[in-house]
Structure 1
Amino acid sequence: MLLIAPLIPAPPNGVAAKFDWEVFYAWDSGWYEQIATKDYYYSDNNKLYSVAFFPLFPLVTRVFMTFGLPFEIAGTLVNNLAFLAALVVLYLWVEERYSTSAARWATAVLAWCPYSVYGTVIYTEGLFLLCSTSALRAFDKKEYTWVALWGSLATATRITGVALISAFLFASWKQHRGVKAFIASLVASGGLLLYSLYCQIKFGDFLAFLNAQKGWRSSYGFNWGGWWKVLMQIVVGSVNVRHGSIKDFSYPLLFAIVLGVGYVLWRFRSQLGSTKVRYGFCFLLLVVWIMAGDAFLKTVMIFGGLSLLWLSRKKLPLAAFVYGLCSYAMIFNTGLVASVDRYAYAIVTLSFAFGLLLARYPRLGYLIIGFFAIPLVTFAVRFSQNLWLA
């Protein structure tokens, strides 16, 4: 972002990247700067308002700024340090539950996933991953004081932290954890309750952060139309989707060939052997990504991640598994297609499950991590140029 992006000419819809802290600042970063340097504001209409963004990240950034750091440096340091700590916590958690190999792969997945760029820039992913991962690990170890603390910090960072409360309550009941577990599960909502109280005092609206969401979406629920468009972008191509008819015949033809080759690999998997079949499918997925780009990554992140979560349900800690399901339920109910892949990345359970899978198939893991590096670099450059990612 500091060395490569400044060498690339500015794209038509972006800006020229410079060797400056501002390469880490774009999109939601502006909202956090306003909160950290000024204050929240809110009004009951369909415009965009900062009250939709939760307070912990700008508060911690403000603390860093008291040492004389400008917002760009303070915000970048907060997210990066928190992301580094989240990687360490995830490693320790998986190692305690399984093995060093699984811990290394889970950490590698979280660090090298293309969306990990949001653990580097001025966003909340790093801080939220630290708080949510620490809360889940503490629950797994029955350290309920830490569950209450880290859970409260998570619910003060992002609204998706609410999924932790449901997961802790369900696991406490299912596993007969006792009164302390139920109390800690409820106290984990402390960050959300305090922010709601602040909204009531300042704006006279206990749910101001929810009501402000109308500026970003017109309705809630599963966005059937949006997901159908994403699917069509993968199958027939973005150009044909924009025109509403087949203008470019080469794209659907190539996609049909990919499907045909995939069927041949599956049909003759016994003769070819598992290794050749795996590598063959990896190559086909690479081709589809080159063809469809972000639409393919979004689909894999959401539906592939959900499938992995379900298939790994017996190996994951119960609270972590339920947390993943509740997080997906919130994602599907947003009424949006934009940014959902970024929300899914912040579900640490997916990295946990992926690490367990790749520990069994390390050669496949090297291929996947190598592939991750390609879109990760492109994502970093795009963010540096103020181009939309997720």
Structure 2
Amino acid sequence: MSDDVAAEHREPSADAVFVSAERAAEASALPGPLARLTKADVSTLRWWLVTRIAVLIAVGASAWLLTSGKGKPSGIFARWVQWDAVNFNVIAQFGYAGDGSRKAPYFEAFFPGFPLTLRPLVNLGVPVGLAGLLVSATALAVAVVALRRLGDLEAGAGVGERAALLLMLSPWAVFLMAGYSEALFLAFAIPAWLAAKRGHWWLACALAMGASATRVTGLFLALALIVQFALYAKDRWTKWPALLLPFFPPLMYTVYQHQRTGDWSVWLTAQKENWNRTFTLPWDAWESTWRGAFGGGQPADFTWMWRAELL
């Protein structure tokens, strides 16, 4: 028997058997594309489903408990169209020109990633409130599975699922259900970091493009990827161009808005004129927050939000 034929009939190594058995034990036995999910992923998604149902129930109950008089609260989906969710929905339906409800510049303060995901659903006739819930809920499912895998990769089995559960149970997780951009940002950002930790740099930076198209904080992710790349990447000379990818969406958005408005910094202009947000020193920001929390003159709901920010 030749060496090649003999090699084909050799028993698999102990390591190979162990790895195969380990993967088989982790497999979820789900059909089709879902087969890539492990049992730990499925367990995390169960928590995702339970917590999302709990949030829906809590919001529905609070609307009835906090409504005064004899009138009924607004519809279940309409309750989620509040604050910035309104702005995202306007952009999704009318573009950055808006619906005439705001004086420009205003909607330019919001990056296009989230409205672009809403638009196909809105065009299909899905109510805007429901569309926001669907996008955010789906995005959060992606984010928590990635967080589960990242946590286990960094700190061992079981850590990732606990981290994902803590994220979903945190008080701020309500924004991960509403029609806000946070969940979609995490659905790009966490998988991007996971891909970087695994050495898949083009994939990591492509995902980071989605993050930077969704929120300006994607630029901080891009900088973090550069540091990670400098410290740990192999074959740097063939992979470094990938690091440029996350900077393209903000650049293209800036060029687009300049063509519309003639202002290269219209995003900053809209932030300053409508929300009084500017670049400032850390201690000045702390003073402003303290004044909002304890200086008086703020409505009660704003006062507790300012105080929460101090924590």
**Normalised by the size of structure 2, how large is the TM-score?**
0.69
Distance 1:187 1:225, change over 3 A: closer
8 A contact 1:172–1:181 mirrored in 2: no
Q: Deviations over 1:140-198 (max 9, x none)?
A: 11112211221111110011111012112222223354134421111122221221232
Which position in structure 1 is the counterpart of 2:170?
113
Percent identity over paired residues = 24
Change (3 A) 1:91 1:17: farther
Residue 9 (structure 1) shift:
3.4
Query: Which protein has greater RCO, CA pairs closer than 8 Å, 6+ apart?
Result: 1
Match runs of 1:356-367 below 5 Å: none
Q: Matches of 2:68 and 2:290 in 1, distance apart? A: 27
Query: Of 131, 139, 164, which residue of structure 1 is paired with 2:221?
Result: 164
Matches of 1:140 and 1:18 in 2, distance apart? 45
Indicate whether 1:210 and 2:264 are aligned.
no
The 5-angstrom pairing of residues 150-229 of structure 1 reads 150-175=207-232, 177=234, 178-215=236-273, 216-217=275-276, 219-222=278-281, 224=283, 227-228=286-287
Residue-by-residue CA offset, 1:53-90 (whole Å, 9 max, x unaligned): 00011011001223321211112111111012111111
Show the 5 A alignment for 1:250-269: none
Asked if 1:33 is matched to 2:89, the reply is yes
The answer (yes or no) to whether the contact 2:199–2:233 under 8 Å persists in 1 is: no
RMSD: 2.8
Cα distance in 1, alignment partners of residues 195 and 140 from structure 2: 18
Task: Assess, with a 3 A threshold, how the Cα gap between structure 1 residues 11 and 219 changes in structure 2: closer, same or farther.
Answer: farther
Listed as ranges, the matches of 1:203-352 within 5 Å are 203-215=261-273, 216-217=275-276, 219-222=278-281, 224=283, 227-228=286-287, 230=289, 238=294, 241-242=295-296, 294-300=305-311
Give unpaired runs (5+ residues) of structure 2. 1-57, 298-302
SS of the counterpart of 1:150? Answer: helix
Q: Is the alpha carbon distance of 1:17 and 1:146 closer, same or farther for their aligned partners in structure 2, counting shifts above 3 Å?
A: farther
The equivalent of 1:9 in structure 2 is 66
More moved, 116-125 vs 103-112? 103-112
Aligned residue pairs: how many?
242
Which residue of 2 is the match for residue 149 of structure 1? Answer: 206
1:225-271 alpha-carbon deviations (Å, 9 max, x no partner)? 5524655888xxx4xx439xxxxxxxxxxxxxxxxxxxxxxxxxxxx
Q: Distance in 2 between matches of 1:106 and 1:9?
A: 32
Which structure 1 segments of 5+ residues have no match? 244-291, 301-390
Change (3 A) 1:218 1:26: closer
Q: Distance in 2 between the 1:186 and 1:194 partners?
A: 13
List per-residue Cα deviations over 1:73-129 (Å, max 9, x = no partner).
112111111012111111111112222321122111211110010011111111011
Partner of 1:369: none
Whether contact under 8 Å (1:35, 1:50) holds in the other structure is yes
Q: CA deviation at 1:19?
A: 4.1
Distance 1:296 1:16, change over 3 A: farther
Aligned partners of 2:175 and 2:182 also within 8 Å: yes
**Alignment partners' CA distance in 2, 1:18 and 1:220:** 38
Q: Aligned partners of 2:290, 2:208: CA distance in 1, in Å?
A: 36
C-alpha distance in 1 between matches for 2:270 and 2:241:
30
